[in-house]
Each structure stands twice: as C-alpha cells, then as structure tokens.
C-alpha cells in the first residue's frame, strides 16, 4: 500500500470525530492535531473537550453532538461545514458498552445500545454523505471492535451492535467507492480506555448465569487500566491507514486482535469443511 495525495486544499484534512471526550475519540483528536490536520471534535458536553480546542484553536472546532438526536446531528454537521467548508474524514467513534447474558439485559438497555452504536453511527453517516458526494472524496472510519468479529458469552448486546455496524459498513463501502469515498472499519482489541471502566454497563445478574458471567466480569474489571494497547498509538495507526492510496476496509488494532481474528477465521474454515457434506448438496434433482 502506498500513501495517497491529500484530498483537502492546502494539504490539511478536516476530520469530524464523534465521542471525543474520552478514549479513542480523545486520543485520535490529539493525534490528528499533532499530524497538522483540522478537526471538528464533538461531544455531548463541549466543556469536557475545551482542552482539545486549546491545543490548536485555529484548527480545532468543538461542537456539541448527541448521536441519538437528529437535530443535534444536523446542527453539528452544518457547523462543521461553516467552520471549515468541508469534511474529509468522518470518524464514528461515539458508542457505549453493554455486557451480560441475553436474559439479563432489559429491552430498554438493548435498544439504547443499538440506538447509540448502530443507528447513531448510521445517522451521522447519512448526514455527512451528501457533503462527501459533492466533494467526490472522503473517508468514513467506523470504530468497531474485535467483538465485531468474534462474539462470545456476555456479548449479545455489544457484539450485536458491532456486527450490525460492520455489515452495514462493508455494504456501504461497495456503494460509495465509485464516488471517491472510502470506508475503513477499525477493530481494536484490548486498549487502555474507559470501555471496561465507567463507560461499561452490565445487565442485571441472574443466578442461572452467575457461574458463567461472574468470573468473566471480574476478569474484565480487573484488567481495566492494565490493557496492553495504547490508544494514542492506535490513533496513529488509523491516521496512517486513512493516508494510504488503497486504504483497508478493515483495520484490526493491537497484536491480540490479529491473533484472535486469525484464529477465529481458521476455526470458521474448519467448521465450514466439517459441515459441507450436510449443507452443500441441496440443489434440485
């Protein structure tokens, strides 16, 4: 892969990043600023990102955005266009975590998780796409997870949202490539963010699932603050991928993500071979 030419006039891309008050969103904003680009940093509470604006006041625009609110999205995109005249890279980073056995999760909690992680990202993408189409250029970065590839016990909600985001994004990539728009799905493994801390919610524990879920929850909470992944270095990898002439559709982040995803697909291939005799011979005779 080779680096591609800058899409924005003057060589400064304009990034529009959701959820910049913490985690990957914050670190990506910092890395974009250090890279010399311009950025629209969005958050539900803009006071929480005042320090990001202070890093480069002429190149950073802080904008309030709630990805679950249609009017909020329209206003934020319009403000971004007024501030910088274009958007070159949209990063759908805002999201929330919800773990627990399926029966432990309330209907309202499930719907809220999908509203934020799936429909929120879709709504922001829908609002930005007309601008990217007019430009005949742009890049959409969808922040998924290794859990968007590999689902396990306790992940029915979060994996469900990330699987949905990945499927939608892969199809979108095929629809907009001829317009000069690229899509990259980012799949981080364990990184030192707030995901396993204050940003994570759990379902109401049930005795029948305690033996399965309690150790998993304890282990995840114990790992908080000790994950191997540095989100700033992950952010630099995202910037590097966006700068490629032929950017990847999927970008796993962290050595663990590559190991787990590779093992997952090897197991899937073995499973495919094992069931072929049963499932393949179904044509009319």
- Over residues 17-32, the pLDDT tens digits come to 999 999 999 999 999 9
Q: Which position among 22, 96, 162, 169 bears the catalytic label?
A: 162
Q: Which residues are 229's β-sheet partners?
A: 191
d(CA 126, CA 142): 13
d(CA 241, CA 247): 6
Q: Which residues are 200's β-sheet partners?
A: 97
d(CA 242, CA 277): 42
DSSP letter at 6? P
Using DSSP's 3-state secondary structure scheme, residue 179 falls into helix
Q: How much is the pLDDT for 199?
A: 66
**Total of domains in the chain:** 1
Domain-located, residue 96: yes
- pLDDT per residue as tens digits for the range 70-110: 999 999 999 999 999 999 999 999 999 999 999 999 999 99
218 counts as catalytic: no
Q: Which position among 22, 72, 144, 169 bears the catalytic label?
A: 144
144 counts as catalytic: yes
Which domain range does residue 170 map to? 9-271
**CB-based contact 144:166 (threshold 8 Å):** yes
Domain-located, residue 160: yes
Residue 4 pLDDT grade (very low, low, confident, very high; cuts 50, 70, 90): very low
Q: How much is the pLDDT for 229?
A: 85
Residues 41/44/46/52 CA torsion (nearest 10 deg): -40
Domain-located, residue 129: yes
Q: Which position among 21, 96, 158, 169 bears the catalytic label?
A: 158
- State how far Cα 223 lies from the chain centre: 21
Query: What is this structure's pTM?
Result: 0.93
* 83 CB burial (10 A radius; 0-12, 13-18, 19+): middle
Residue 172 has pLDDT above 50, yes or no: yes
Domain-located, residue 242: yes
The 3-class SS string of 211-252 reads: HHHHHHHHHHHHHCCCCCECHHHHHHHHHHHHCECCCCCEEE
d(CA 43, CA 58): 19
Residue 197 pLDDT grade (very low, low, confident, very high; cuts 50, 70, 90): low
Any idea what the CATH number is for the domain that residue 92 is in? 3.40.50.720
61 counts as catalytic: no
CB atoms within 10 A of CB 163: 19
CA angle 239, 244, 249 (to 5 degrees): 85
d(CA 76, CA 68): 12
Q: Return the exposure string of 237-266: e unless at least 16 CB atoms fall within 10 Å of the residue's CB, then b.
A: bbbebbbeeebeebbbbbebbeebbeeeee
Residue 181 has pLDDT above 50, yes or no: yes
Domain-located, residue 283: no
């Amino acid at each position: 892969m080779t680096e591609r030419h800058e899409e924005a006039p003057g060589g400064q891309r304009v990034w529009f990043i959701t959820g910049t008050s913490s985690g990957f969103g914050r670190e990506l904003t910092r890395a974009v600023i250090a890279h010399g680009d311009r950025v629209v940093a969005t958050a539900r509470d803009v006071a929480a990102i005042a320090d990001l604006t202070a890093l480069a006041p002429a190149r950073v625009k802080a904008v309030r955005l709630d990805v679950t609110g249609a009017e909020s999205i329209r206003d934020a995109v319009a403000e971004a266009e007024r501030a910088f005249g274009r958007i070159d890279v949209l990063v759908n980073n805002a999201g929330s975590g919800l773990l627990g056995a399926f029966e432990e999760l309330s209907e309202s909690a499930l719907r809220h998780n999908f509203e934020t992680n799936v429909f929120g990202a879709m709504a922001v993408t829908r609002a930005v796409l007309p601008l990217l189409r007019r430009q005949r250029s742009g890049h959409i970065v969808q922040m998924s997870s290794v859990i968007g590839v590999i689902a396990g016990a306790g992940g029915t909600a979060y994996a469900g949202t990330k699987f949905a985001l990945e499927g939608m994004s892969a199809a979108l990539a095929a629809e907009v490539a001829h317009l000069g728009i690229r899509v990259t799905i980012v799949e981080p493994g364990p990184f030192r963010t707030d995901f396993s801390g204050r940003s994570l919610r759990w379902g109401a524990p049930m005795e029948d699932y305690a033996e399965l879920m309690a150790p998993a929850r304890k282990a995840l909470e114990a790992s908080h603050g000790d994950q191997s992944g540095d989100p700033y270095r992950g952010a630099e990898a995202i910037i590097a991928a966006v700068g490629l002439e032929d950017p990847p559709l999927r970008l796993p982040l962290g050595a663990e993500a590559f190991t787990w995803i590779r093992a997952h697909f090897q197991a899937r291939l073995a499973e495919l071979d094992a069931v072929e005799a049963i499932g393949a011979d179904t044509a009319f005779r």
